[in-house]
Chain A
Amino acid sequence: MPQVLEYYSGNRKQHVTVQGLFAARQSPSSRGADAAPMRFPVRPQGDGDQVLRLLAAQPRTVLSRFSVVSESTTLVAPVSRPGETTVIPTDTVTVLGARTAETTWARRKYGVTIAQEGSDGKVLLAVPADVGDPAALTAEVARALYERGTVTGAHPNFLRLVQRPGPATAGASAQWGLDNDGTPGVVGADVAAHAAWTLSAGDPDVCVAVLDEGVDTRHPYLRAAVRAERDFVDGNPTAAPDGDDAHGTACAGIVAARGPKVRGLAHGAGLVAVRIAKSDGGQGWIFDDFTTADAIDWSWRQGKADVLSNSWGGGPPVDVITAAFRRARNRGRGGKGAVVVIASGNEQGVVSYPGNLPEVLTVGASNQWDQRKTRTSQDGETWWGSNIGPGLDLMAPGVGILTTDISGRRGYGRALTTPTFNGTSAATPFAAAAAALVLSVRPDLGEADVRRLLVAHTDHIGRGRPGWSRFVGHGRLNAFAAVRAARRR
C-alpha cells in the first residue's frame, strides 16, 4: 500500500503518493561538501524502485543533487507520469520565512535540527535519525508549522525525478558530460549543466577563446557564438582549420554549441576562435612558440576574451609562452585578469607544459563513472590516461563526448557532430565554459576568484579523502555549484 504524505502548498492541502522512501539520514554536521558517502537503505516501491536503486548504488555523486533539491529556486519541473508525480521523500523539511522562535518550537516538539540555512529566509530542518518513518514525520512537522500560521510555507523536502529542460533533450542523453543519466555510468557524474543553466547559460558579452588548430566558425552550431577569430598559423582571414584538423571545432562545441543535437555548457556566451597549430599530416601537431605567445596576447587584448581555453600542450617549457599567460592573467579583462584554462595531457604521466604552470586552471579527464581516466578505467578507452601530479586542479568529462565536428568526410565523422571526442582536450573546454558561466553572473570577479570558486565547488571523486589529490586534483567540475556560489559571494 503506497504511503501518502499530506502537507500545505499554496494554502491548500496537497497529497503526494510516495513511490519510494529515502529512510536514512546524515547528521547535520556531515551534510557539507566534506560529507561521508551517503547511504540509501531504501524501501523501494512501485515506479520509484529503479531510480532509488540507482541512487543507492552511487552514493557519493548525488551529494550535489541534494544541494539542488534543498533550494526551491533550483527545482525544475517534475516528470509527469500518467495520473501521478513521482517524488522521493527525504528526512528534511523546507521552511520558508521561519523565525528563530518557530525553529526552536519545532526542535522542542519534534527533535528537528537545522540542516542548512538557505537564501531568502529558507531553512532546511532535519528530523531525528532514530525515528521510524522519517518521511511521515517530515509531513507532520511541515503541517504543524504551517498550521501555526507563523511561517510563509513548510513542506517535506522532496527529491524529484525531473525532466531535463530545453530543446536539446533528444541529444542530451548522449551529452553525458552535461547531465549523466547513468546509461552508461553513474547518475550525476557530470558538470550539472541543466542546474547551472537555471542560473546562467552564459552572457553574450563573456567570451571564451579556444586556442587550437582552428575552428569551423561557419559551423551552423557555432557561427552565432563567434565574436572574433584569427589565424596565427597561416595568416588567413578566418580561423578555419586545414584538412582534417577537427580538434578545435570539437573543443569549441563543448563551450558554445547552440544546435539541436549539441549544446555547449556556456551556449549563451561568446566564442573567440584562435588558430595556433596545425597537423603535420601525420600524428604530430606543429606549434611555433612565438606565434603561440602572440596568439595568447591577442586573445585577451584584441579578441577581448575573458577565458582562454587551451587544449594543447607538450614539449619543453619556454618563458615566452609563460610570460604571455602571465600577461593574460594580470592584464586581461581590464586588469581583473583573463582565466587561463589548460589541459593536463593524455599520457597518463605527469602534467605537461603549460598545464604545470602556477596560477592557471589545469584540467584532467574523468569518465562516465566519475573515475579518473586511465588506461584501465571502466570506459574501455585503453589507449590513453589523464595526466596527474602537481598543478592538477580539477577533473571534467573527457570520454565519449558528443560535440561539433567539421562537416564533410574529413571530420572525425561525416556529420555536423561527433560522439567520440575525448581527452583532457575535451575536459578543458568544460572548465573554461564553467568559468564563463561564473563570470556571466559575477563579471566583477578577478581571475583568481574564478579559479578558486571552480576548485572549491567540485564534487569529490576517487577513493581518497576529500581535498586535493595528485590523481584528481580537487575533484570533478560542478558548474552549478560554482555558479551558485559565485552568485552568493
Chain B
Amino acid sequence: MPGDAYYWAGGRKVALHGSSDVVIDVTSAAGAQLAGSSLDSLRAQGRALSATLLLVPEAEASAALGDTSASVAGVHPVYRSDDGALVVVLPEVRVESSDPRRLADLGRSLSAARVRERSEERLVLEPVSGRGADALRLANMLAESRAAEVTSARFLRVVARPGPG
C-alpha cells in the first residue's frame, strides 16, 4: 500500500494520502506478466479508468504479480487528495521553461529518465523504470532543485461527476 506522498505546485508542497489501490497498465510489462486468467480476474475485481488502465486493490495486484509488484513497470501508485479526489501518478513528467538552453541541459543531464518529447518550451520525460512512483520522485527532485518553471508528474484524476442530482 503506497504511503503518504507529496508533490510541488505553485511553489508549495501538496500532500497526497495513500490508498489501498494501484493502477495497472495492461499494455506494460505488468500487463504482459498478468496475461490470461490473472488479468481477467483483476478486471473483474477492478475498475477500468481507460482502455489501458485498470484500478485494482493493491493486495490483489501483489497476489497476482508476486512480491515484486512494486518494482514492475506499469504498476502505478494511487493517492487521495485532501478533497477526496483519486489521483493516479502516471510515468511521465512535464518540464516547462522559457529558457530553451536550460531545458536542453536538463534533458542531457538525466540518466533515470528518457526524453519522450521535446520542444522549445517543454520537455516530456519518462522514467526508465516505467513506473509512476519514479515519475513522482523525479518531478519532486526537479522541483526541489528549481530546474524549471513548471515541473509536474502526470496525474490522472477521478473527481465527483457534476450534473443534475
By a beta-carbon cutoff of 8 Å, the part of chain A in contact with chain B is 246-247, 250, 279-290, 293, 311-320, 322-323, 343, 346-347, 349, 352, 381, 383-384, 412, 418, 420-423, 425
Contact = CB atoms under 8 A, between A and B. Distances in A.
Interface string B1-40: 0000001111000101000000000000000000000000
Interface stretch (B56-64, B66-74, B152-160): B152-160
Contact of B87 (A315, A346, A423): A315
A316 B165 contact: no
A314 to B, nearest CB: 4
Contacts of A384: 165
A283 B161 contact: yes
Contact of B10 (A281, A293, A322, A381): A322
A421 B96 contact: no
21 contacts: A247-B163, A280-B49, A283-B161, A286-B158, A289-B155, A312-B159, A314-B85, A315-B81, A315-B83, A315-B87, A316-B9, A316-B157, A318-B155, A322-B9, A323-B150, A384-B165, A412-B163, A420-B164, A421-B163, A422-B163, A423-B162
Contact of B160 (A289, A314, A320, A322): A314
B161 A318 contact: no
Given A314-B85, A316-B14, A319-B10, A285 B156 contact: no
Contacts of B162: 247, 285, 311-312, 343, 346, 423, 425
A316 B85 contact: yes
Given A314-B157, A423-B163, 19 more contacts: A280-B49, A284-B161, A285-B162, A287-B157, A311-B162, A314-B159, A314-B160, A315-B81, A315-B85, A315-B87, A316-B14, A316-B81, A316-B82, A316-B157, A319-B9, A320-B94, A322-B10, A349-B83, A423-B162
A381 B160 CA distance: 17
B149 interface: yes
A316 B49 contact: no
B163 A246 contact: yes
Given A280-B49, A314-B85, A317-B9, A288 B161 contact: no
B109 interface: no
Interface residues of B, number: 36
A412 B164 CA distance: 8
Contacts of B7: 316, 318
Contacts of A280: 47, 49, 158, 161
Contacts, number: 122
B9 A422 contact: no
With most chain B CB atoms within 10 A of its CB, the pick from A280, A282, A425 is A280
A317 B14 contact: yes
Pick the 8 closest A-B CB pairs, nearest first: A315-B85, A314-B159, A320-B152, A316-B81, A315-B157, A317-B9, A284-B158, A285-B161
A323 B157 contact: no
Contacts of A289: 152, 154-157
B9 to A, nearest CB: 4
Contacts of B50: 286
A279 B94 CA distance: 25
Contacts of A346: 162
A280 B50 CA distance: 8
B151 interface: yes
Nearest to B149: A323
B93 to A, nearest CB: 10
Contacts of A281: 47-48
Nearest to A213: B161
Contacts of B75: none
A179 B18 CA distance: 48
Nearest to B8: A319
Contact of A290 (B83, B94, B163): B94
A161 to B, nearest CB: 34
Contacts of A284: 86, 158-161
Contacts of A343: 162
B122 to A, nearest CB: 10
B134 interface: no
Nearest to A319: B150
Contacts of B150: 319-320, 322-323
B23 to A, nearest CB: 11
Contact of B156 (A283, A286, A316, A423): A286
A316 B164 contact: no
A349 B85 CA distance: 15
A322 to B, nearest CB: 7
A285 B92 contact: no
A279 B161 contact: yes
Residue in A284, A412, A420, A423 with the greatest tally of chain B CB atoms within 10 Å:
A284
Given A290-B94, A319-B150, A313 B164 contact: no
Contacts of A423: 162-164
B148 to A, nearest CB: 10
A222 to B, nearest CB: 18
B49 to A, nearest CB: 6
Contacts of A422: 163-165
A283 B7 CA distance: 27
Given A289-B155, A316-B87, A319-B152, A283 B10 contact: no
Contacts of A349: 83
Nearest to B55: A280
A383 B165 CA distance: 7
Contacts of B160: 283-285, 314, 347
**Which among B151, B159, B162 has the highest number of chain A CB atoms within 10 Å?**
B162
Nearest to B11: A319
A226 B86 CA distance: 33
A152 to B, nearest CB: 53
Contacts of B90: 288
